[in-house]
Structure 1
């Protein structure tokens, strides 16, 4: 069985990354063909579960970053297509695993795979996609690219465990939270950006620039997600607004509101996050406290700061359409909350 892709919604919603979509369109067609091929299996449940998430309207930012980064340095082979597909499979596997760990019911407005097929199927299909990703990395024949992406896979898993250990812990510091999102989200963005110049045999400085760009883009992206959970919409966020709150996740807006709050306000956070006393009224109160203490505003400010670092990382590189498109991605990630 194959996988059916529907990217029309994501294309309509992504006007601010129009240049990136245009520059990578032909290569993304090849990526989507490879997704169809590599997500297929004679085991019927595998493509069913994979298709459920792959076709759910994600914007495919990470593989497009890989493609644009390779183009930027004049790469002319087909390895970037395989690596971009590997990156997308790694991301999809992470989402399947995340939804099990977080006990999430919705993703991008649809029931999560675990709600339809169960936790076991979600984990195992995620493992299948990771296996396919590594097979494609090996096919490319770049030991350095394989090292970068396999290291990212390990770091992502460490980030998941770090987040699990920090769950419902209101004493989590800002630095500790940054360590989690650096591992859980930013590591894959960084690897996705770096493997492009690696297979294009760009200079060490060029590789470092794209690695820094991806890392800081990923940090900005996740912080905006943190903010959106308390002030966005389900369409922007890809899940229910307030899911982080209901799941007891201690994200940056919670950390800031808790630390800046009165003793009575901190008692509310303890009851809500640590004791799981969460309902719509509690969510409304949480959002009110965040407004009072500027927690969401400051989270967005920190995201903007990391976005500026990502932009500065690209600044010394020669001007190309791909460089402009990668800068557009920064603006797109930050603007999701406006």
Structure 2
């Protein structure tokens, strides 16, 4: 997801990313735990987009900040995110992420959990070294929100009665909170004004909301070869996301019985779910919501002075919107295959 437009950020922060990778590998090698080094190397090389540290770097550049502590902040953000992924893959029994085998399938659940814990201790150790209590507090709160969001989501598994408000609350905590914290932390270390900090904090949150909505739509619209995500994975795990919520809201009695049966038994007909999601334009309506958040994110940075870095952020947002058009085409293709085969 977002791979092509992610290159827009690569073009302005490539040297910072290399510095971050060197810092990470040097730090991990100093821990002298070979299997942990192998797992972390696998994570870094497995095709993750590294959007969160890229946002740290772009915002620091936009605000004219160049001190080396930005490397530690960016690395901390990446490790907090990767720790969550390691733990999530164990909980979800995931086998593939970004098109490659997950760490838990290669090294086992225990190793994944322990390395995830190690990543968190390293991340917060680096933040302490930055000697900025505000930044430490920002990322501590975001980490807590991330876990709270995951716990809240677990309470909605297999529940077709999940409402939009609950969904938005969950993705706000489990995803948007860390994006928001990245941007807020970058602005704080850069010495931004309180108004600039609030704008960038909101920018990160709004982008994070759009990011998660798009990612959830991929479960119903994209192939694993193009998205790196197993199609239907969330559906079969009982995760009730926005397309299913919208389809359920608009469903008649027969359709509601289908959704309730889907999420209350082992009989889950993904193709039929896909049909109802298409019939009620649930993907298009989800896209409109993602566009709403993208628009708010752009408004958040409009007041900043023009620069190559502000332009990169705007182009990144615009490319995110353009990417969504393909989601609609993908679902039409999948529906056509289903109808022709039925």
Q: TM over 0.5, yes or no? A: yes
Aligned mate of 1:228, from 218, 237, 252 = 218
Structure 2 CA distance, aligned partners of 1:103 and 1:14?
Answer: 25
1:157 equivalent in alignment to 2:147: yes
Instruction: Tell me the alpha carbon deviations over residues 106-149 of structure 1, each in whole angstroms, 9 at most, x when there is no partner.
Output: 11112211122222211111110011110111111111111111
CA 1:291 to 1:18, structure 2 compared with 1: closer, same or farther past 3 Å? same
Once superposed, what is the RMSD of the aligned Cα atoms?
1.6
- Counting only pairs closer than 5 Å after superposition, residues 71-220 of structure 1 correspond to structure 2 as 71-220=61-210
TM-score under structure 1 normalisation? 0.92
Structure 1 CA distance, aligned partners of 2:52 and 2:69?
Answer: 15
Aligned mate of 1:25, from 14, 20, 23 = 14
Correspondence for 2:314: 327
| Structure 2 unmatched ranges of 5 or more | 327-342
Aligned mate of 1:286, from 262, 270, 273 = 273
Q: Secondary structure at the match of 1:198?
A: helix
Instruction: Tell me the alpha carbon deviations over residues 17-52 of structure 1, each in whole angstroms, 9 at most, x when there is no partner.
Output: 444212111111101111212333422221222222
Q: Secondary structure at the match of 2:220?
A: coil
Aligned length: 324
Deviation at 1:16, TM superposition (A): 3.1
Correspondence for 2:235: 245
TM-score under structure 2 normalisation? 0.91
Deviation at 1:228, TM superposition (A): 1.1
Aligned mate of 2:50, from 55, 60, 64 = 60
Deviation at 1:213, TM superposition (A): 0.4
Which deviates the most, 234-243 or 198-207? 234-243
Are the aligned partners of 1:221 and 1:334 in contact in 2 as well (CA < 8 Å)? Answer: no
Q: Secondary structure at the match of 1:202?
A: coil
| Structure 1 unmatched ranges of 5 or more | 1-9
